[in-house]
Amino acid sequence: VQLQASGGGLVQAGGSLRLSCAASGRTFSSAAMGWFRQAPGKEREFVAAISRSGGRPYYADSVKGRFTISRDNAKNTVYLQMNSLKPEDTAVYYCAADFGLIASRLGYPREYDYWGQGTLVTVSS
């Protein structure tokens, strides 16, 4: 499956962005989807994930209450709505997909088989 992330940019602290990840090449509705981010000099970290059906989202504690993950299986797209952005949210954001993950493994980047190219989010103070 091919993943194309978009929607990053420069925003002031307190602002909002919506990231999109368009998928192609395989049955999107069969894949669990995740968003991860990597700041300069840091390891890639989990941000949010959503099950195949979209019925259960998962969030890192650092983004709970501010970010919302959703998916539109008809459009083969997963979204990450980011509100109340902080400078520490600055990173390259990646979307990822996997067709065999169980819920307890959704937060582990090494469990995902497919990755998008990343989109840069910069939050200025």
pLDDT in tens, 68-80: 999 999 999 999 9
What sign does the dihedral 90-63-93-19 (CA atoms) show?
A: negative
pLDDT, residue 41, reads 94
φ/ψ of residue 85, rounded to 5: -65, 145
pLDDT digits (tens, 9 = 90+) for 5-58: 999 999 999 999 999 999 997 788 889 999 999 999 999 999 999 988 777 899
What is the greatest pairwise CA distance in the chain? 40
pLDDT, residue 100, reads 85
96 pLDDT higher than 90: yes
36 and 91 Cβ atoms separated by less than 8 Å: no
4 pLDDT higher than 90: yes
30 and 91 Cβ atoms separated by less than 8 Å: no
